[in-house]
Structure 1
Amino acid sequence: MSVIGFIGSVFSPWYKWSGRRNPQNHVCINVATYGPGGRFTMTDRGASALRQTGSRLQVGPSMMRWAGDQLVIDIDEMSGPPLINRLCGQIRVTPAALTQVELPLTDDGAHIWRPFAPRARIEVDIDRPGWTWQGEGYFDANFGTRALEDDFSYWTWGRFPTRTGATCFYDATRLDGSELAAGFRFDDTGGAEPISLPPKASMRRSLWAVKRETRADPGFQPRQTLAMLDAPFYTRAAVETQLGGERVTGVHEALDLRRFRNPLLKPMLAVRVPRRRDWRFD
C-alpha cells in the first residue's frame, strides 16, 4: 500500500484550476491499496480540513502523527470508483533510522527530494478481512515551489531494498533538456552515500503506454512483478532488477509530465479526485 499526504495536491485538477494560489486550500491524504480488492482514495479538501503542527498533519478525518519513533497514520476515507466504500484503519511506520539526505532536483532548489527513512517496518491494520499485515516500509517527501510540469517533462524513481540496506535512483528530464541522474545507497543506521550509476534499462510500457526505465547491471532486463497504479501519465509497480549482482525487488514510478499537461486529462482526473471544500471538526 501507499499513503501520501499533500499540502497543495500536486495531481489534483481542482488545484490546477484554482491557479495554485493557495496550497492549504487543496489538501489530501491519498491512500492506495494493491492486490485483490485494492482501493484508491484521493479527496481534495479545503483549508477548513487542515490542521498542522510540528508532529502532526491532519486532513479532515485522516491524520499522520509522530508517536515516539513511529509515524502513525489513521485513515478514514472514501475510495473512488469503481469500488466506492469507506476505508478505515491504522498504519504504523517504524524507521530503521532517519537520514539527512536532501537532493535538489533543479539548480535553483525549487524542487527537493528528502528520503527520510529508506528502510522501515510497516504494520497495517485495515478494517477488511486479510488486510492486517507487517512488512517492509519506506518514508520520503518531495517539496516544491513550482508545478512539476513547469520544470520537468519526464522522470523515474525507484527504491530497492538490499541485503545491507536500500538503494534509490532518481532520474529526470527537465524542460530545458538537462537531466538529473542520482543514486544513493543507504544503510540501516541512516548512513548514505552517492553511488556510481549502473546503466539505464528499458522496461515494457505500462497499460497506458507510459515509457518506463530503471537502473540495472549491464545485460540484465528489469521486469514488473506487480502492477500497482496505472494512469495515462503515471505508473507505479513492483519491479525486479539486479544491482551489483544482487537481484532485488522494489517500488518503481514513472511520470510523463508532457501527458499531464494535456488539459483533456483534468476532467478525467476529477472523477477519481472528488472535491470536498468544507469540513467541520467536531
Structure 2
Amino acid sequence: MSDCERFGLSVIAFVGSVFSPYYHWAGRREPDNHVCINVALYAPTGHRWTMTERGRRETVRDALSFQVGPSRIRHEGADILIEFDEVSVPRPPAQWLPKRVKGAIRFQPDAVTSQVFDIDAHGRHRWWPISPTGRISVEFETGGEDWAGHGYMDSNWGTEPLEKGFSLWDWARGRMPDGDAVIIYDTLRKDGSRGAISLRIGRDGHIDTISMPPKTRLANGFWGVPRSGHHDPGARPSLSQTLEDGPFYTRSVIRTRLMSENVDLMHESLSGARFASPLVKAMLPFRMPRRAG
C-alpha cells in the first residue's frame, strides 16, 4: 500500500520470504519458517525500515489473519487492519540507532478484482492486483505521524526464485485524476523475452488493458540499479524522489504523463542478476535481521 504525496507507506507480508538470504541458505525449504511483515515508512521527518524475519514458532495464520511476532494483518469486515510493532534498522545519517515503530493501518478497498496475471512465460510467477484503489489511514503510538491517503493492495507468488525468472523489472502504480489506478509491469525475462502488462483499473474493479507506453531511462541510484520511467509519446518522466536505493532494488517516486494526464507513480526496479550474487545476499542481514524461532 502506498501514498505518493508527503507521506508514503509500504507493508509486505512474506511467507517463504523471496528476498530472505536465510531462506536461500536453507535451500528454500520450509517457507513457514521464513516469514516477516516488512513495514517501510516515508515522511518529511525521516524514513523508517523494518524487516525482521521470524520462524514458525512466532507465526500464526488462518484464512482471515496473519500474525508474525507482535505484528498482525487481519480482516475487519470489508477492511484490512494492520497492527505493527517492529524495530527499524539504522539508516545513517538520519537514523543511527534502532527505533521502535508501532501503530495501526486501516485499508478500505474500493473493490476486489478477480483477474490473476502471469508475469513470466511459464506461469511460475503470478500477480493479483487485489484492490488497486482504496483509502488508508495510519495511526502511530510511536515512530511516526498520523496521516491518511489513497492505497493499493496486491499479491505475488511463485514457484521459483525471482532471479531465475527475471533479469530486470520495472513496476509502477499511480492514481489518475479521476481516481482510477494505472499499473505497469515491464520485465526482461531470463530467456531474453519481454513481459509487458499495462492496465487501467477503475474504482469499481473493472480492468482495461492499455497499450504499453514508451519508457525512458532515468538516473541510476548510488548502487547502479537501472530504472526507467514510462510516459506518453513526446513526454518525459522525471525522478521526484528516491525512497530506497540498494544493491539490487530501488523504490522511487516518478512524475510523468500517461493517457494525457499528469500522474505520480510509485516505482520499483529490481535487478535479478544483482540479487543472484552471493555477495549481495551476504549484505542483506544488515537490512533484514532474523530472530531465532
Corresponding position of 1:126: 140
Shift of 1:245: 1.3
Task: Describe the superposition over 1:133-184 as per-residue Cα deviations: whole angstroms up to 9, x where unpaired.
Answer: 0001111110111100111111010001002301100011111111101101
Choose from 62, 73, 77 the match for 2:82.
73
Corresponding position of 1:11: 19
Shift of 1:83: 3.6
* Distance in 2 between residues matched to 1:98 and 1:213, nearest whole Å: 29
Query: Does the aligned pair in 1 maintain the 2:100–2:143 contact within 8 Å?
Result: no
Pair 1:156–1:233, CA change in 2 (3 A) = same
Corresponding position of 1:87: 101
Query: Does the aligned pair in 2 maintain the 1:203–1:221 contact within 8 Å?
Result: no
| 2:28 partner SS | coil
| 1:270 partner SS | helix
Corresponding position of 2:199: 184
* Distance in 2 between residues matched to 1:11 and 1:57, nearest whole Å: 19
Shift of 1:100: 1.3
* Distance in 2 between residues matched to 1:130 and 1:229, nearest whole Å: 18
Shift of 1:243: 0.6
Choose from 22, 31, 54 the match for 2:30.
22
Query: Does the aligned pair in 1 maintain the 2:124–2:159 contact within 8 Å?
Result: yes
Q: Does 1:62 align with 2:71?
A: yes
Which one-letter code corresponds to 2:284 in the other structure? Answer: L
RMSD: 1.2
Any stretches of 5+ residues in structure 2 without a counterpart? Answer: 1-8, 91-95
Choose from 57, 73, 85 the match for 1:48.
57
TM-score between both structures, scaled by the size of structure 1: 0.95
* Distance in 2 between residues matched to 1:230 and 1:252, nearest whole Å: 12
Shift of 1:37: 2.3
Task: Describe the superposition over 1:51-102 as per-residue Cα deviations: whole angstroms up to 9, x where unpaired.
Answer: 1111111111101101011100000111112440211100011111111121
- Structure 1's consecutive aligned runs of 4 or more residues displaced over 6 angstroms after TM superposition are none
* Distance in 1 between residues matched to 2:166 and 2:265, nearest whole Å: 24
Query: Does the aligned pair in 2 maintain the 1:39–1:83 contact within 8 Å?
Result: no
Query: Does the aligned pair in 2 maintain the 1:152–1:172 contact within 8 Å?
Result: yes
Query: Does the aligned pair in 1 maintain the 2:102–2:143 contact within 8 Å?
Result: no
Choose from 24, 27, 32 the match for 2:40.
32
Corresponding position of 1:166: 181
Query: Does the aligned pair in 1 maintain the 2:229–2:254 contact within 8 Å?
Result: no
Task: Describe the superposition over 1:249-280 as per-residue Cα deviations: whole angstroms up to 9, x where unpaired.
Answer: 020000011111111112211111111122xx
Task: Describe the superposition over 1:177-235 as per-residue Cα deviations: whole angstroms up to 9, x where unpaired.
Answer: 11101101100101101111211222121232211113201122211212211111100
Which one-letter code corresponds to 1:3 in the other structure? Answer: V
Choose from 147, 153, 156 the match for 1:139.
153
Shift of 1:129: 7.3
* Distance in 2 between residues matched to 1:61 and 1:76, nearest whole Å: 6
* Distance in 2 between residues matched to 1:217 and 1:178, nearest whole Å: 23
* Distance in 2 between residues matched to 1:25 and 1:9, nearest whole Å: 9
1:124-273 correspondence to structure 2 within 5 Å: 124-128=138-142, 131-164=145-178, 165-273=180-288
Corresponding position of 2:113: 99
Which one-letter code corresponds to 2:81 in the other structure? Answer: V
* Distance in 2 between residues matched to 1:24 and 1:75, nearest whole Å: 19
Identity %: 44
| 2:24 partner SS | helix
TM-score between both structures, scaled by the size of structure 2: 0.92
